[in-house]
């Protein structure tokens, strides 16, 4: 298992972490298998989506903020209930396919770290499971 660090600069933010993940794959020579990306925070998540048009990121965050506003009379005393709800909607893990030490993503796809309670210094765990039956 490997850990990567993500530093965010705003309250809500999507950070493209595809290159960081790919660097870990190459460093470890993870060839063929499944990679789980897991965020161990209750106010941040991870997902795959488009990275070609930056307006998609803006639209995703704007819609999440509209659906789950920061101030809505929540009971949670910490004041970050909206972040917890957004994380529950987005999810804290995703599975990625690795083939020949490369992530398999669609032409316009990338992996996003989703910050909902920043700015913060966060971490993400990467766990690789090989599907190469020739290796023991």
One digit per residue, the tens of pLDDT, for the chain of length 136 reads 999 999 999 999 999 999 999 999 999 999 999 999 999 999 999 999 999 999 999 999 999 999 999 888 899 888 899 999 999 999 999 999 999 999 999 999 999 999 999 999 999 999 999 998 755 3
Tell me the sheet residues that pair with 98: 33, 103
Contact 33, 132 (CB under 8 A): yes
Nearest to 57 by CA among 117, 114, 119, 6: 114
Nearest to 21 by CA among 51, 41, 46: 46
Go through the domains of the chain in sequence order and give each one's CATH number: 2-130 (2.60.120.460)
pTM of the model: 0.93
Q: Which residue has the tokens 């161990």?
A: 40
């Amino acid at each position: 298992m490997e850990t990567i660090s993500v530093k965010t600069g705003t309250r809500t933010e999507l950070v493209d972490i595809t290159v960081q993940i790919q660097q870990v794959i190459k460093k470890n020579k993870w060839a063929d298998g499944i990679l789980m990306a897991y965020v161990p925070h209750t106010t941040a998540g991870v997902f795959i989506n488009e990275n070609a048009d930056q307006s998609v990121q803006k639209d995703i965050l704007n819609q999440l903020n509209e659906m789950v506003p920061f101030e809505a009379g929540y009971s949670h005393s910490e004041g970050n209930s909206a972040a917890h709800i957004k994380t529950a909607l987005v999810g804290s893990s995703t599975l990625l396919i690795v083939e020949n030490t490369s992530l398999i993503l669609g032409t316009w796809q990338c992996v996003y770290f989703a910050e909902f309670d920043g700015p913060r210094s966060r971490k993400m765990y990467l766990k690789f499971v090989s599907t190469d039956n020739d290796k023991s």
